[in-house]
Copies of this chain bind each other. A is one copy, B any other.
Amino acid sequence: MLDERGKKVLWAVVQTYIGYPDPVGSRVVTKKYAFGLSPATIRNIMSDLEELGYLSQPHTSAGRIPTDKGYRFYVDNLLMGRNPIAEDREVLLQINGRLKDINEDINCLIEDTSRMLSNFSHYLGVATAPRLTETRLRHIELVRHRGRHILVILVSSEGIVKNRIIPLREEIPQKILNKISQYLNEEFTGMTLREIKGKIVKEMSKEKVVFGRLVSQAIRLFREILNTQTDDAYSEDVYIDGLSSVFDMPDFANLSRIKEVFKAIENKYIIVKLLDRLIEFEGVQILIGSENQIEDMHEMSMVISTYKHGGAVLGTIGVLGPKRMDYSRVIPIVDYTAKRITNIISKS
């Protein structure tokens, strides 16, 4: 474990490096933070910190930069008790103001959130559109499409609209489809898709004996819908905003670095998978550098949280930036925004 002095110096180095990405030398530390120690002593301490894996040196005669472990320690132990300063409060107020104005459909809300997170953090804003799985069905509608297909429209209690096209073996006239949707609406409205799935399995077992053709058709159809739905749970949309902010980060001031970043976020599928894995955790999550599993993202950090409705997690929002991002500012922003969105949705 680190002693008090070690912590102080580590904090000073990370803090300074977050300010500007030049390796931090011993002299700078003494100048900026009067610890009452000389550069030589700081050098010794820094040398210790390097040995412990918290700092590293780009080359022998350069200052130190934090390692992932260093950032992790900083975030876990050196950031505590830091309440949002006045400037940040202002930002939170602005976020609140902007969110209040949005009375749109939930996907727009989430898209705007991603933009807002980017604007206020000056990093990349990330947000996943709400998943249907955990929400309650408000309405289902079946529309004939291209002969042997039907267009299925699902509406959740939050007003999330999803549509899928599913193929059929036989053509069903719109009139019958209307009856089927009516039946499905009466039977399943108010349940979560998960619950519906369970119910359908039960119904299917007795179906043949008790129900008529229409109902059995309806149930079979719904099962199909749910299957299609689950199949591409991963194809859910991610909104990533603020791409050009990358160009203002000195961390990525050369082409190959920038290219790496864009490679990383181009494949949204991978990001969704990453975010999905974190969806179960409570509160703000922080992933530093190689802590996330995406190869091309090892020079970046993510600060994310989830938004919910009725206890069920709907999606993820967060900020993606360089490892030396200003965590003390970003964390409250993400935290606050996630809570506000949860709040707004709960009023639906």
Residues of A within 8 A of B (CB): 103-105, 138-139, 141, 143, 145-146, 149, 151, 153, 155, 159, 161, 163-165, 167, 243-244, 247, 253-255, 258-259, 262-263, 266, 347-348
A138 to B145, CA, bound (A): 9
Contact A151 B161 (CB under 8 A): yes
Rounded to whole Å, the gap between the CB of A241 and the closest CB of chain B is 9
The residue among A155, A244, A254 with the most chain B CB atoms within 10 A of its own CB is: A244
Rounded to whole Å, the gap between the CB of A268 and the closest CB of chain B is 11
Give chain B residues whose Cβ lies under 8 Å from the Cβ of A104.
165
Contact B266 A243 (CB under 8 A): yes
Contact B255 A146 (CB under 8 A): no
Give chain B residues whose Cβ lies under 8 Å from the Cβ of A243.
243, 262, 266
Contact B151 A105 (CB under 8 A): yes
Rounded to whole Å, the gap between the CB of A66 and the closest CB of chain B is 25
Task: State how many copies of this chain the complex holds.
Answer: 2
Give chain B residues whose Cβ lies under 8 Å from the Cβ of A141.
139, 141, 153
A262 to B240, CA, bound (A): 14
Contact of A151 among B155, B165, B259 (CB under 8 A): B155
Contact of A164 among B105, B143, B244, B263 (CB under 8 A): B105
Contact B244 A146 (CB under 8 A): no
User: Across the two chains, which residue of chain B brings its CB closest to A348?
Assistant: B146
Contact of A347 among B139, B146, B253, B262 (CB under 8 A): B146
Give chain B residues whose Cβ lies under 8 Å from the Cβ of A263.
244
Contact of A153 among B145, B153, B255 (CB under 8 A): B153
A167 to B102, CA, bound (A): 12
Give chain B residues whose Cβ lies under 8 Å from the Cβ of A266.
243-244
Give chain B residues whose Cβ lies under 8 Å from the Cβ of A165.
103-105, 159
Given A103-B149, A103-B167, A255-B255: 20 more A-B contacts, CB < 8 Å? A105-B151, A105-B164, A139-B141, A139-B143, A141-B141, A141-B153, A143-B155, A145-B159, A146-B348, A153-B153, A153-B155, A159-B165, A243-B262, A243-B266, A244-B262, A244-B263, A247-B258, A247-B259, A247-B262, A254-B255
A165 to B153, CA, bound (A): 15
Given contacts A165-B103, A243-B262, contact A151 B159 (CB under 8 A): yes
Contact B151 A143 (CB under 8 A): no
Rounded to whole Å, the gap between the CB of A292 and the closest CB of chain B is 19
User: Across the two chains, which residue of chain B brings its CB closest to A105?
Assistant: B165
Rounded to whole Å, the gap between the CB of A320 and the closest CB of chain B is 15
Contact of A348 among B145, B262, B347, B348 (CB under 8 A): B145
Give chain B residues whose Cβ lies under 8 Å from the Cβ of A153.
141, 153, 155, 161
Contact B143 A138 (CB under 8 A): yes
Rounded to whole Å, the gap between the CB of A164 and the closest CB of chain B is 7
Give chain B residues whose Cβ lies under 8 Å from the Cβ of A161.
151, 153, 161, 163
